[in-house]
Amino acid sequence: MQHQHKLLILYATQTGNALDAAERLAREAERRSCPNKLLSLHDYDPSLLPQEEAVIFVVSTTGQGDAPDSMKVFWRFLLQRNLNNHWLKGVHYTVFGLGDSGYQKYNFVAKKLDKRLMDLGGTTIVERGLGDDQHPSGYEGTLDPWMSSLWRMLNMIKPELLPNGPDVVIQDTMLIDQPKVQISYHNIENINSHFSTASDLTSPDILRSARSMHPGNSSSDRSGHPDCFLKMVKNLPLTRPNFGKDVRHFEFEFVSDAVQYDTGDVLEILPGQDSAAVDAFIQRCNLDPDSLITVSPREMDDCNGHGSRMPVKLRTFVELTMDVASASPRRYFFEVMSFFATAEHEKERLKDFASPEGRDDLYQYNQKERRTVLEVLEDFPSVQMPFEWLIQLVPLLKTRAFSISSSQSAHPNQVHLTVNVVSWTTPYKRKKKGLCSSWLATLDPSNAVGIPAWFQKGSLPTPSPSLSLILVGPGTGCAPFRGFIEERALQSKTISTAPIMFFFGCWSEDGDFLYKDFWLNHSQNNGVLSEAKGGGFYVAFSRDQPEKVYVQHKMKEHSERVWNLLAEGAAVYIAGSSTNMPTDVTSAFEEIVSKENDVSKEDAVRLIRALERSGKYHIEAWS
């Protein structure tokens, strides 16, 4: 296959950030007259890699150092033993990673990929860039300076790719005419009757059609094909009213056949959007909510583009795919807005936001305040963006993932969740709330709403009944362990099961002691959490006394028993907030090993790392 001089940009994304960064790179290449091709790793044939001239990989790290799903086949191919250290000779590459330095395996996937490509004989264009979610400007804080180096080095190595040099940029007015998508409007009389009558948001056909048409969905995305639909049957508060936090226990039944899941798995839900916000967005953008549309890539031939696409109402498309009132827009959104602003002061402010110099101002206005698309559009009333651009730039409405807090053996037709209903106040004292958790909290079990749902493997594998467990799960981190303990309690009725120690933490005994009766019940009368069975249940109430007490303090109080279980081959499972908890808990384990086994801190660290490698130390953390 003969390649013309082209820059190849390959991305692997889990939540869409890597796609955003890859698209930004493609736009900047285009502005420099650099021909380029942008592809998901899922859609690329890795055997063609030795034929490429210059490749940029943009990859995110998920969970505890995991590769995105769309990268897994590609990565397996790269690990083949028959690929030698000359396989990529002559191929110039670089890697940009997206990660979160709050996690132990920060940008692990990018680092691993960079090393493997180098081992296979690839030549780096520029040192890998590592974007950090913790940076005030997010990954763009690293991407901007990294790109400057990239174009400079690429111009030296492959000048034919940048015919005008690294700094000559085409005027954006030439590029702004062409959004990536085109919209076709349909006359209801000309449409198959099945299409014209389908308007139920929970119809699988409607959902599939709308989600598949959104440009933010890659071909590997499953979000148009739910595993099932659920209906809520219980919505119970677990915290005291007006306590300062609102944690709920939700129970769902399968509307269709039950999907098989294991303890430790994760449930993803597509949240509903607030109807008033959707209506306000449609009105602000002068759209007709009842028009029937299909959306297709601009380069797709029109007659081929819509054969398999079912027209949907514009309002339905917005509601199911465009996150108008929760996600903050990206910088490119402000850039495109500046072209459509007719008021000069708005145009200047938007241009400033979109410039590298205005990044701090944009951060203060947008990310720090978590402004939504709707709020931004209302702040700049002179901007009238074409719907094609809005579809391209409004963030895709994403599924939200929750650890499952039930055992299917105990509840055959159900799945349970333990959810913190998120709300906060911004620096400018604006009240904000989490989209999915707030939506779930408002659902009334007597009004059955079909909820699209997907089941995924989490980072907590299902333990065998003969495996001793040390569980650490403060707050809603207890969710997967409720499922573990339900399952083991059932198993213990027919077979001999190994002991479980569980360390739980919360603010206050009378405020947010989640599932209090459940844990206490299993920790008494020879239950699976009882000390009599070799386990135990220990709670840290952080605010019930003058000095703070956390789960790691309780672990150290019982360090001898913790060490004895570890020495007998127990597995460690940690779940909860990703801020400091996983690091603090891991440090506590290292201290316990050092003290009880009488070894140095370094040896204790090595022992915990060995547990990780052997699949006996698991962390599931979320921000």
Could you list the residues known to form a binding site, using ranges: 13-18, 60-63, 133, 370, 400-403, 434-437, 476, 542-543, 548-552, 584, 622
φ and ψ of 54, to 5 deg: -145, 125
Q: Which residues are annotated as a binding site for FAD?
A: 370, 400-403, 434-437, 622
Distance CA 337, CA 460 (A): 43
Q: Which residues are annotated as a binding site for FMN?
A: 13-18, 60-63, 133
Tokens in use for 409?
């053996």
**Rounded alpha-carbon distances, angstroms, from residue 236 to 155, 281, 487, 609:** 61, 32, 22, 40
Taking CB atoms within 8 Å and a gap of at least 24, the contacts of 345-348 are 346/380, 346/381, 346/382, 346/383
Distance CA 211, CA 169 (A): 35
Minimal CA–CA distance to 161: which of 44, 9, 49, 332?
Answer: 9
Identity of the residue numbered 235: N
Determine if residue 315 is left, alpha or beta; phi over 0 gives left, psi from -120 to 50 gives alpha, anything else beta. Answer: alpha
- Judged by DSSP in three states, 2 sits in coil
Do the beta carbons of residue 313 and residue 291 sit within 8 Å?
yes
Distance CA 206, CA 90 (A): 48
Sign of the Cα pseudo-torsion (308, 309, 311, 313, in order)? positive
Do the beta carbons of residue 273 and residue 317 sit within 8 Å?
no
Q: Which residues are annotated as a binding site for NADP(+)?
A: 476, 542-543, 548-552, 584
How many of the other CB atoms lie within 10 Å of CB of 168? 11
* Site of tokens 């110099």: 357
Distance CA 232, CA 322 (A): 24
Tokens in use for 5?
């001089």
Would you give the DSSP letter of residue 532?
G
